[in-house]
């Protein structure tokens, strides 16, 4: 009994002190919303946060007070505190306030099971406005569609919204989990410079003019690729960093001019070591930050050739089937000009089968044709399968091509797809790359339309055995498929001169739900081979010396075998958050045209600044 009394006395004295500190403006808050549960009933507390919502219920004023971690309902009753009630009457949404009073149990029947604090409320005794707010340009307290430009201009308000706040928190948890994982495996987190030398790595560089070295430029790193390799030459063996990368490319939903990679590199490893580590890391990540999502284990592997043949892309979404089939052999002798001409021109005829879509209307089919054309194909042949007098036939209404395609061909195609009456074959005839690109997009679209995609699945795939080179048709030369530092498979080295297109490399990608989330490779660690690759990529000796002399020299000082990978943080978090655009998981992104709407950047600079940098700006338009 005595100790009960003592506890009560202590609580009472505590309350008095809290009230005194609050009134003296010494204390902002005693608790955050997460600290409060039914066990807090009876405590005197002071809270601070934003007015999320205010409701005036005939005498009682309810305020939902929001802090970073959640909401607490505050009720102002004039019978409890006329002063508090009076102050609450002046509050508006997004005002920053401090409130104090006693935690009470919500009356039976008014609890909110969706809130962590849903069983309690703060019975307000006083309230102070710490700062007023203008009426926000969009609702903070409702998940409504808001024009993106407005959200980006007022990003600090947009980030107050629940969905965005959750994304920021998820990003933090992801990065923390990855750091913990790698730290536990002996990796060192090492920073590398942002101002480096411009070296071709695939994309266009962002350049930074030098004031001290007039007329010369630094480049922002497209990735710390060479630096991490040099760290391996330096004997550091296991490196990672959350690296900011800069690429001046055209933007897409999953691209920004600056983005973040978990850049890592290891010495004395082969492909299996890197992929094994990635497998453990992705499983750990999914289990830690998104236990509600199912990651398919063990992580399957596809060779590059297999991925392209089955899905038309090296970034397949394997959450659903609808795989591509090659029909070139079946229609080789076709009367249908579109097929014949494509094959004669060295192209391919491939397709997918959309089960149960045979009754698509003209309008729906035209839609799919437009979509396919949007990806560069000349057209799309849609054949709806129906029961003919003897077995399967094509519904003549589905395609003008129907009359040119023999029954034998139809049946052979249907057999290849395992298709039945009521199914829709969607076929593209063109150069292989065009066919694949169009069918990949069409397949993704059909997967979405038909609801074949389970959003709770994380379908991670390792794609391996990439070609070392890729033919650049425009410039009529070979480009590195990954980057020039990637090692060719030893057994293909003899093909480097005679058949460079068939050389496979030790490059690998990690793909998740149809997005490339990491690329990496085992690197070349001998000077002669690296020089040979530069030569095949068309670099002159002088250029190699100027651009890569430092790296080549380093390879002569005992460079260990090494390799690495660089998972993209933005894309990973985007997928984990269930978002479809990386801008949703970057606190301050640029818009689709690389413009920062909050800061208005890029912007003009003064003539003096340019002078200092030895630059004369050429005015656009
Ligand atoms: N630096 C490469 C990239 O950014 C990744 C790697 O090879 O580790 O794609």
Query: Would you kindly state where each structural domain of the chain is located, as residue ranges?
Result: 29-131, 164-290+565-610, 320-453, 460-564
Asked if 563 contacts 269 with a C-beta cutoff of 8 angstroms, the reply is yes
CATH topology assigned to domain 164-290+565-610: BirA Bifunctional Protein; domain 2 (3.30.930)
Q: Is 510 in the pocket of ligand 1 (CB under 6 A)?
A: no
Residue 241 beta carbon below 6 angstroms from any ligand 1 atom: no
Region 106-123 average pLDDT:
95
619 pLDDT above the threshold of 90: no
Q: How confident is the model at residue 612 (pLDDT cuts 50, 70, 90)?
A: very high
pLDDT above 70 covers a percentage of the chain that reads 98
| pLDDT bracket for residue 507 (50, 70, 90) | very high
Q: Topology of domain 320-453, per CATH?
A: Gyrase A; domain 2 (3.30.1360)
CA 443 from chain center: how many Å? Answer: 21
Atom of ligand 1 nearest to the CA of 264: 8
Residue 351 Cα to ligand 1 midpoint, Å, equals 33
**29-131 CATH fold:** OB fold (Dihydrolipoamide Acetyltransferase, E2P) (2.40.50)
Does domain 460-564 fall into CATH 3.30.930.10? yes
| pTM as predicted | 0.93
Q: Which is more confident, 173 or 9?
A: 173
- Ligand 1: does its nearest atom lie under 6 Å from the Cβ of 192? no
Q: What is the residue with the minimal CA distance to atom 6 of ligand 1?
A: 520
Q: Do domains 29-131 and 164-290+565-610 have the same CATH topology?
A: no
pLDDT of residue 198: 79
Q: Using alpha carbons only, how large is the chain's radius of gyration in Å?
A: 31
What ligand 1 atom has the least distance to the C-alpha of 521? 7
Ligand 1 center–CA 260 separation, angstroms = 12
Query: Ligand 1: which residue has its CA nearest to atom 1?
Result: 225
Per-residue pLDDT tens digits for 154-186: 999 999 999 999 999 999 999 999 999 999 999
Q: Where are the beta strands (DSSP E) in 132-225?
A: 188-189, 207-209, 217-219
How far apart are the C-alpha atoms of 110 and 55, rounded to whole Å? 15
Question: Residue 263, exposed/middle/buried by CB under 10 A (0-12, 13-18, 19+)?
Answer: buried
With beta carbons less than 8 A apart as the criterion, state whether 380 and 442 touch: yes
Residue-level pLDDT at 26: 73
521 CB near ligand 1 (under 6 Å): yes
What backbone torsions phi and psi does residue 321 show, to the nearest 5 degrees? -80, -105
CA of 210 to the centre of ligand 1 (A): 27
Q: Which of 196, 203, 225 to mutate to test the pocket of ligand 1 (most atoms within 8 A of CB)?
A: 225
141 C-beta closer than 6 A to ligand 1: no
Instruction: Compute the C-alpha angle 320/321/327, nearest 5°.
Output: 150
**Residue of 231, 249, 260, 263 to mutate, ligand 1, most atoms within 8 A of C-beta:** 263
Interval 220-240: pLDDT, tens: 999 999 999 999 999 999 999
pLDDT of residue 617: 83
**Ligand 1 pocket check for 225: Cβ under 6 Å:** yes
Q: Is residue 102 a contact partner of residue 43, using CB atoms and an 8 Å limit? A: yes
The backbone torsions φ and ψ at residue 5, rounded to the nearest 5 degrees and listed phi first, read -60, -45
User: Which atom of ligand 1 is nearest the CA belonging to 523?
Assistant: 7
Q: Tell me which of 371-375, 400-404, 554-558 is least confident.
A: 400-404
Percent of the chain past pLDDT 90, that is, above it, reads 86
In the prediction, which pLDDT does 621 show? 54
**Average pLDDT, whole number, for the chain?**
94
On the question of pLDDT at 449 being above 70, the answer is yes
Mean pLDDT of 244-267: 91
Provide the pLDDT for residue 202. 74
Of 389, 384, 386, residue with least CA distance to 401: 384
> Quick check: 98 pLDDT over 90?
yes
Any ligand 1 atom below 6 A from CB of 564:
yes
224 lines ligand 1 (CB under 6 A): no
């Amino acid at each position: 009994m005595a100790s009960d009394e003592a506890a009560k006395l202590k609580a009472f004295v505590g309350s008095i002190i809290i009230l005194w500190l609050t009134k003296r403006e010494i204390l902002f808050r005693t608790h955050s919303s997460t600290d409060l549960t039914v066990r807090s009933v009876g405590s005197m507390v002071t809270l601070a946060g934003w007015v999320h919502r205010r409701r005036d219920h005939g005498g009682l004023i309810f305020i939902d007070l929001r802090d970073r971690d959640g909401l607490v309902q505050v009720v102002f009753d004039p019978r409890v505190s006329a002063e508090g009630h009076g102050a609450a009457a002046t509050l508006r949404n997004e005002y920053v306030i401090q409130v104090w009073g006693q935690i009470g149990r919500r009356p039976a029947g008014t609890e909110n099971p969706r809130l962590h604090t849903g069983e309690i409320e703060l019975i307000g005794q006083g309230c102070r406005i710490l700062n007023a707010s203008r009426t926000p340009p969009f609702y903070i307290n409702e998940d409504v569609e808001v024009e993106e430009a407005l959200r980006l201009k007022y990003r600090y308000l947009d980030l107050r919204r629940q969905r965005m706040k959750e994304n920021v928190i998820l990003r933090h948890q992801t990065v923390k989990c990855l750091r913990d994982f790698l730290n536990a495996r002996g990796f060192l987190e090492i920073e590398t410079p942002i101002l480096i030398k411009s070296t071709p790595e695939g994309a266009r560089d962002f350049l930074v003019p030098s004031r001290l070295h007039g007329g010369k430029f630094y480049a922002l790193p497209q990735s710390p690729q060479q630096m991490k390799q040099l760290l391996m030459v330096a004997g550091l063996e296991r490196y990672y960093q959350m690296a900011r990368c800069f690429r001046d490319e055209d933007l897409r939903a999953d691209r920004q001019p600056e983005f973040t990679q978990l850049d890592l590199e290891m010495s004395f490893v082969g492909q299996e070591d890197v992929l094994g580590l990635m497998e453990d890391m992705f499983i750990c990540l999914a289990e830690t930050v998104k236990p509600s999502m199912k990651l398919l284990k063990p992580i399957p592997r596809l060779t590059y050739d297999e991925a392209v043949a089955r899905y038309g892309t090296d970034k397949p979404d394997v959450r659903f089937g609808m795989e591509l089939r090659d029909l070139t052999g079946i229609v080789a002798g076709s009367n249908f000009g579109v097929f014949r001409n494509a094959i004669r021109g060295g192209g391919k005829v491939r397709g997918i089968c959309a089960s149960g879509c045979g009754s698509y209307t003209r309008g729906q089919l035209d839609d799919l044709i437009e979509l396919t054309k949007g990806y560069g194909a000349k057209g799309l042949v849609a054949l709806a399968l129906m029961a003919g007098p003897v077995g399967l036939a094509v519904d003549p209404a589905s395609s003008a091509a129907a009359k040119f395609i023999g029954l034998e061909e139809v049946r052979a195609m249907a057999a290849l797809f395992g298709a039945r009456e009521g199914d829709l074959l969607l076929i593209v005839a063109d150069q292989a790359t065009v066919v694949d690109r169009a069918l990949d997009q069409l397949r993704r679209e059909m997967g979405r339309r038909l609801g074949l995609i389970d959003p709770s699945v994380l379908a991670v795939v390792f794609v391996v055995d990439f070609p070392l080179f890729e033919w650049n048709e425009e410039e009529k030369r070979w480009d590195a498929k990954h980057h020039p530092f990637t090692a060719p498979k030893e057994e293909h080295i003899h093909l480097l001169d005679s058949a460079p297109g068939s050389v496979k490399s030790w490059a690998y990608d990690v793909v998740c739900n149809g997005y490339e989330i990491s690329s990496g490779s085992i690197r070349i660690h001998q000077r002669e081979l690296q020089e040979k690759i530069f030569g095949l990529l068309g670099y002159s000796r002088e250029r190699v010396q100027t651009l890569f002399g430092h790296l080549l020299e380093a390879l002569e000082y005992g460079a260990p075998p090494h390799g690495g990978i660089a998972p993209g943080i933005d894309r990973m978090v985007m997928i984990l958050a269930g978002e479809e655009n990386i801008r949703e998981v970057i606190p301050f992104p640029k818009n689709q045209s690389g413009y920062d709407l909050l800061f208005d950047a890029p912007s003009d600079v003064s003539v003096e600044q340019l002078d200092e940098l030895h630059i004369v700006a050429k005015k656009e338009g």
